[in-house]
Structure 1
């Protein structure tokens, strides 16, 4: 009997070409507004706390923030790739240390509905983003809000064949939790894995991951 299969995927820079936080910094904030990021880099506050403080400085309309979210440039083949994976028996979940606010909007605009583990966020009346850690989630992490490696471990314990796709240094623990043949990386995550001489499958856009998993399934069926 074939074990259930699931792809745990990062969002910013993985499903999309651009990172929402970077776009907010470039378009809506001043250098003073992002001072908490340096505190995080110095180990004085958590990643989650830094993002909470920075996003609280945003002053923008919903339409402005929606435009930024859609400008993250999700993979044009996202919807078709999701359908293909699901038809082949793969489940898919998004695991992100970012905000569910923009993730849900980007996915909805692409016509895609996925389970999301991320930080609950609301747009306040003053135009700021109020980001909270998912403290009631079994995958809550004090440092980032979402424990991606914990999500991978949970599905593995349940008997799933787990694949992971990501692009950031923070994705390293989750990536190391899966079989190298099911480990997909680009950008900073690829650099980190290479530094530790860990094998991985490279990708340029998210649908490359889907294509590789489907090809793997075909090859295994032919054996």
Structure 2
């Protein structure tokens, strides 16, 4: 087994400092647009439907959509961190409830080739159209991609699994891994505190990589 260990990581707000949907909402969505996020929180929309609604409500402006991808703030140490993790037997797998279009774009710019599980999409008519994933092995009616199912699949293979995330939808997957391999910030950290579940805080994704590398070095 080339990679006995797997780091499953969220993308928006975890590998990046900004969520793409928030950038779109704040810069491209008209002021009179419904608060789709509140509708999601109240159970009137799924997580997937809320994101897709914001993307559909944005004014058609392809240059700005492209510029917003660059404003997400991908960790500048990503390539170096991934290479170091790979060398120590860790594979990095991105599992996101966002859209693969901007994930692929940023990873290409960083020169990093990672396995990605996310909702498909593309710029269509100047807007980002996010679609239901039809060929994923890990479907979710709420989010499109079931992060917990990805982690369970790796655990069933007998691999060591770590998880890093920042969102409310990350609580369930985070609880599948032990506290010393559970990395959280923002809404995920808050959700874990509410459940009195321990975790390792981080601000930048490369801190997660460094912590795993240190632990691997101590174990060897």
Give the TM bin, normalised by the shorter chain. Answer: over 0.9
Q: What do residues 108-148 of structure 1 show as CA deviations (whole Å, max 9, x unaligned)?
A: 11111111100001111x21211112132111101010100
SS in 2 for 1:56: helix
Scaled by the length of structure 1, the TM-score of the pair is 0.94
CA contact (8 A) 1:168 1:187 kept: yes
Structure 1 residues 192, 37: closer, same or farther in 2, change over 3 A?
closer
The residue that corresponds to 2:194 in the other structure is 195
Q: Cα distance, 1:77 vs. partner?
A: 0.7
SS in 1 for 2:135: coil
Task: Please give the alpha-carbon distance, in whole angstroms, between the structure 1 residues aligned to 2:15 and 2:176.
Answer: 20
The residue that corresponds to 1:31 in the other structure is 31
CA contact (8 A) 1:5 1:161 kept: yes
SS in 1 for 2:192: helix
CA contact (8 A) 1:8 1:164 kept: yes
Q: Cα distance, 1:35 vs. partner?
A: 3.8
The residue that corresponds to 1:62 in the other structure is 62
Scaled by the length of structure 2, the TM-score of the pair is 0.95
Q: Name the Cα RMSD after superposition.
A: 1.6
| Correspondence 1:161 to 2:160 | yes
Structure 1 residues 3, 67: closer, same or farther in 2, change over 3 A?
closer
Q: Cα distance, 1:57 vs. partner?
A: 2.0
Alignment of 1:23-102 (within 5 A): 23-102=23-102
SS in 2 for 1:109: helix
Task: Please give the alpha-carbon distance, in whole angstroms, between the structure 2 residues aligned to 1:44 and 1:74.
Answer: 32
Structure 1 residues 77, 2: closer, same or farther in 2, change over 3 A?
closer
Of stretches 151-160 and 30-39 in structure 1, the one that deviates more from structure 2 is: 30-39
CA contact (8 A) 2:60 2:127 kept: yes
Paired residue total? 220
